[in-house]
Structure 1
Amino acid sequence: MKRVVSLTLAALLAASSLPVLTGCHQEEPVEDTGDLTEFVELDYWFPVSSVPNDLRDVQDALNERLREELNAEVTLHAVGIGDYESTILLKINTGDTFDICYTSPWMNNYADNVRREAYVALDDLLEEYAPTIYNTISPAYWDAARIDGKIYGVINQQILPRRACVSIDKEKAEAAGFDITAVRTYEDLEPYMEYCKSIGETDICNMFDVQAFLPYFYWDDLGGSYKIPGFVKADDETLTVFNQYESEEWQSMMALGAAWYDKGYFKKDILTSYSNLSKICVRMPTTYKPGIEAEEVQYTGREFLVQPLGDWMTYGSWVIGTMNAISQTSPNPIRSLQFLELLYKDVELYNLAVFGLEGEHYTKLGENRLELLPDSGYVMPSGGWMFGNQFNQWLQPLQGDDIWEQTREINESAPYSTAYGFSFDPTNVKTEIANCTAVYDEYYLPLLLGLYDDTQAKYQEFLDKLEAAGSQRILEEKQRQLNEWKAAQG
């Protein structure tokens, strides 16, 4: 008999929505003129899959440069990904003083925190104190960051459109004689996974990542949490909002996940323990991008082959998918922005934050090439897209000389979702969103893995509970706002 084990979703996912809280009081920021004659101390909060042992050594090296360039020092607060949202939310709700934090629609929700008045509006500061940042990001991308006409976050320069993909162990694929270039759907992976099972692998695919489904199906989450009912198809000119959980696509993923679990492609205790990335055979990154193979080595310690699925599409929620914001309680908002500007334009400083110290954490292979040292005390696979301008990132083995030019061309040429520029305001349905999120957290993973004895009965129960929690009101509110936005576009 299949059994559902309860779990804390934050411990399993790299993306969970913040509860909508009210009543938090934010202090006015201390006047900051950007005068560099006064030494200041900054703090920077960001999520990591695991805290590097040598983080403080890298911080010390960063501060040597910052003292020279900004007359400042920074404390790096790397927080485990399962604790990051609750950590920042507590600081926001208590009015705690801090300077900079990572924010996005999928973690430490950007729009929610802006509506909590947690972040400093940057419109009057960017051109003067961060001209490199301001001029590097195109106006169309800044528009995605605007809420009620204002910008509250610094967009990191990286791959901004999205394209679904799958990633598999190169050595095993070659041993199986499996041609990944023939893969067009998730189902096409099954012969490879069956081979992995035949050689004794028990943790073949780490998990269905709901975020990976969005580009796979060309779903636009309208700038809200991917957990909340109410998406549109990126190519839908009518901008019709639908409940993704009632869709044929969602039901097809439920059927596929259940089949894979029954076949032994997922580990049996997947609900209660992380997969070991050094052991898994299949990953589903949230997007394809040039040079992704090198990042897969950082995550898994092995070479992986990566195959894109479908085509590129630009979504507003992904353009702002990796940002840094300045807290409304920061005593030094201008100096904080100047720090982000320096991290954006100073190639040496940026790569220090991403890769650590030469000789200790990597070996330099050329002017802009390096190779990571095995078992070093500083591994930051997410650092490239979290710390600023990834076009300044030094290249690793498996990355071609032109990957940043390729990335730039993709950013400039990818089509836009028909809902690009729209950002959902959840104010009128905060209670319904919180209730639906709780229902999602309870049901989604057991449903996707077929762990209930009667999947169809539980699926209907899931839909019924979503409706009771207010899903229809959310759909109607999204459609109303989207219609008004569309009319305003002319």
Structure 2
Amino acid sequence: MAALKRLFLAGALLGLTSALAACGGNNGEDSSGAGSGSLPPVTLKLVVPGAKSANFDEVMAEVNKRLKADLNTQLDLTFIDFADLNQKTNVMLASGENVDLIFDAPWLHLDSMASQGFYEELTDLLNQYGPNVLKTRPQQMWDANKIDGKIYGVPLGSAYTQARSVFIRKDLREKLGLPPVRTYDDLEKYLYAVRDKELGITPLIAGGDDVTYSWVNWRIRDDTGVNIRPTNAFGASLMLYYKGNDGKVYNLFDTKEPQIWNDILDARKLFTDKVMSQDVLTNKSSQSDMQLQNKVAATPEMAFGIPQAFNDKLKQVVPDGELEAVRLFDLTPGSNLSNYKMDNFICIVKASKHKDRAMMFLDWANKQENYDLLEHGIEGKNWKAVGDRQYDTLGNDGGVVSFQLMLNPALERDWVGTDEETRKYNGFIAKADNFSKDIMTGFTFDPTPVKNEVAQFSTIQAKYYNGLFNGALDPDDYFSKFKAEGEAPLKKIQTELQKQVDAFLAKQK
């Protein structure tokens, strides 16, 4: 989930937040947070996706040292692998496990967990304890990321859409005598050339356990000719989707949408031609790790540019190895829609006994010096500042978290080695005027009326979706099986979703 870049109205809320009166209960804690002496000791339990970096312990020790001095607080940070995130966080919340802050997302189960009452509504806590959380995010971001008009999570992001590209091996492309990849046809020529001439390297692997990274989803995201996007009724699934800007909910079982279907057929061809990894559904290794170990030649990634650490790691295995980003994103102003929604959120659990301290910690994390520590590591050891808004790396692996906890448009830094082309793409998605407003901006689906159908369909979808959308299952056989099992619950979800969309749009007139 890559770092998204900037140009937001970072100071838009400064006057507002300073004028807000402190409100809400404080559980006996000092709302100023000015030093640890006035606060009782607290250890906060945080749950986020990913894995510990190589220098996690060292950086975490510095984080806790500063937190002890500033807020008399310590962090107990738990990482969960993305493949297990949905199941494990569901269990944690449902069982009332001791958790204070937890990562969630529309592609995970943010809306359903909020509607079931697992998350604290944050308005009062933000007003009293979160001035830095507020001022580092523009009003547009807050307005577009509410659920039923309320704030159940701090939005994490710094642009109006997600950066995305396909990382390929530049050294292999040049060895194969191929020109730079500019189109999808160019990309396929590269993949087939790798298959034919680079034995031992899998040409492509997509996200077999993550709908977002499925190959068809990846291709559809960049097709501005149709502007198809998921409804988020169940994450990034395209079984229900919006198309264009007409306010209609489409059902893939009914439409067999030509562009989606053609991409499904193409994914199947890639699989049967042994271009797509034959282990795409069973692979448990990180896609990025496999590429950096010289096992895979192309992977979808949430970034427009190659992180320096990626090339450094690859060169440890292949001294002349080098990655480059294939960007198929359309840079035509107005061609892309945006609803200004963020992909990731950090939430305070309703059952937490330390809600005030959790918000005080988030406010602490949204100060530049602490943000830098959490994202980049120890200054002078892991990284150094370059100018006002750039950084250079000095050691391995940087900090301990970034997009999972505090990503915002005001405090992000660019790596000093970012190439001009990447800067151009990052700059484009950080400007609201480059996007057309999605008619669904501000809408959130309440799944409660069809929660049983959502659960039922999600179980059915898990059997078929990633297989079909990555080419591992024959669509001629398995799409009809998928439809036979899933058509009835999906139709009920579609009907309810359209009802809520119509009501939302009626209020906008």
Question: TM-score interval w.r.t. the shorter chain?
Answer: 0.7 to 0.9
Task: Name the structure 2 match of 1:398.
Answer: 417
Indicate which of 213, 231, 239 corresponds to 1:222.
Answer: 231
Distance 1:193 1:297, change over 3 A: same
Using the alignment, how far apart are the partners of 1:160 and 1:129 within structure 2?
Answer: 27
Correspondences of 1:38-437 after superposition (within 5 Å): 38-39=39-40, 40-48=42-50, 50-107=51-108, 109-162=109-162, 165-180=165-180, 182-183=182-183, 185=184, 187-197=185-195, 198-207=197-206, 209-210=213-214, 211-217=217-223, 218-224=227-233, 225-227=235-237, 229-233=239-243, 235-237=244-246, 239-244=247-252, 246-273=256-283, 274=285, 275=287, 276-278=290-292, 279=294, 280-286=296-302, 289=304, 291=305, 293-294=307-308, 297=311, 302-311=322-331, 313-316=336-339, 319-346=341-368, 348-358=369-379, 362-364=382-384, 366=386, 368-371=390-393, 373=395, 376=396, 378=397, 383-384=402-403, 386-389=405-408, 391-399=410-418, 403=423, 406=427, 409-411=430-432, 413-437=434-458
CA RMSD of aligned residues (A): 3.2
Distance 1:369 1:146, change over 3 A: closer
SS in 1 for 2:249: coil
Deviations 1:306-347 (A, max 9, x none): 31333564544x72311111111222212211211221122x
Question: How does the TM-score come out when normalised to structure 2?
Answer: 0.79
Question: How does the TM-score come out when normalised to structure 1?
Answer: 0.82
Counterpart of 1:344, as a letter, is N
Is contact 1:384–1:393 with CA below 8 Å preserved after alignment?
A: no
Is contact 1:424–1:478 with CA below 8 Å preserved after alignment?
A: yes
Using the alignment, how far apart are the partners of 1:228 and 1:254 within structure 2?
Answer: 12
Counterpart of 2:498, as a letter, is Q
Is contact 1:122–1:153 with CA below 8 Å preserved after alignment?
A: yes
Distance 1:207 1:146, change over 3 A: same
Deviations 1:255-285 (A, max 9, x none): 1111111222122233222351313221222
Indicate which of 483, 488, 493 corresponds to 1:474.
Answer: 493
SS in 2 for 1:364: strand
Is contact 1:120–1:328 with CA below 8 Å preserved after alignment?
A: yes
Using the alignment, how far apart are the partners of 2:264 and 2:403 within structure 1?
Answer: 33
Using the alignment, how far apart are the partners of 2:313 and 2:264 within structure 1?
Answer: 27
> Which residues of structure 2 form unaligned runs of 5+?
3-24, 208-212, 316-321
Counterpart of 1:464, as a letter, is A
Is contact 2:306–2:325 with CA below 8 Å preserved after alignment?
A: no
Distance 1:31 1:429, change over 3 A: farther
SS in 2 for 1:45: strand
Using the alignment, how far apart are the partners of 1:69 and 1:262 within structure 2?
Answer: 58
Is contact 1:32–1:333 with CA below 8 Å preserved after alignment?
A: no
Is contact 2:46–2:101 with CA below 8 Å preserved after alignment?
A: yes
SS in 1 for 2:167: strand
SS in 2 for 1:73: strand
Counterpart of 1:436, as a letter, is F
SS in 1 for 2:325: strand
Q: Give me the identity figure in percent.
A: 20
Using the alignment, how far apart are the partners of 2:83 and 2:100 within structure 1?
Answer: 21
Cα offset for 1:484?
0.8
Using the alignment, how far apart are the partners of 1:432 and 1:213 within structure 2?
Answer: 28
Cα offset for 1:164?
5.3
Using the alignment, how far apart are the partners of 1:181 and 1:372 within structure 2?
Answer: 31
Is contact 2:205–2:276 with CA below 8 Å preserved after alignment?
A: yes
Counterpart of 1:254, as a letter, is I
Counterpart of 1:150, as a letter, is K
Is contact 2:132–2:363 with CA below 8 Å preserved after alignment?
A: yes
Cα offset for 1:163?
6.0
Distance 1:296 1:314, change over 3 A: farther
Using the alignment, how far apart are the partners of 1:408 and 1:270 within structure 2?
Answer: 30
SS in 1 for 2:330: strand
Using the alignment, how far apart are the partners of 2:250 and 2:439 within structure 1?
Answer: 15
Is contact 1:45–1:79 with CA below 8 Å preserved after alignment?
A: yes
Is contact 2:44–2:75 with CA below 8 Å preserved after alignment?
A: yes
SS in 1 for 2:415: coil
Task: Name the structure 2 match of 1:34.
Answer: 31
Using the alignment, how far apart are the partners of 2:314 and 2:399 within structure 1?
Answer: 12
1:485 aligns with 2:501: no
Cα offset for 1:382?
6.8
Counterpart of 1:138, as a letter, is P
Cα offset for 1:482?
0.6
Deviations 1:420-462 (A, max 9, x none): 211111111111111211221111233234444x531322221
Q: Quick check: 477-486 or 76-85, which moved more?
A: 76-85
Using the alignment, how far apart are the partners of 1:206 and 1:120 within structure 2?
Answer: 38
Counterpart of 1:251, as a letter, is W
Using the alignment, how far apart are the partners of 2:447 and 2:107 within structure 1?
Answer: 15
Cα offset for 1:304?
2.0
Counterpart of 1:240, as a letter, is K
Is contact 1:32–1:332 with CA below 8 Å preserved after alignment?
A: no
SS in 2 for 1:114: helix
Distance 1:313 1:137, change over 3 A: farther
SS in 2 for 1:76: strand
Using the alignment, how far apart are the partners of 2:462 and 2:359 within structure 1?
Answer: 36
SS in 2 for 1:331: coil
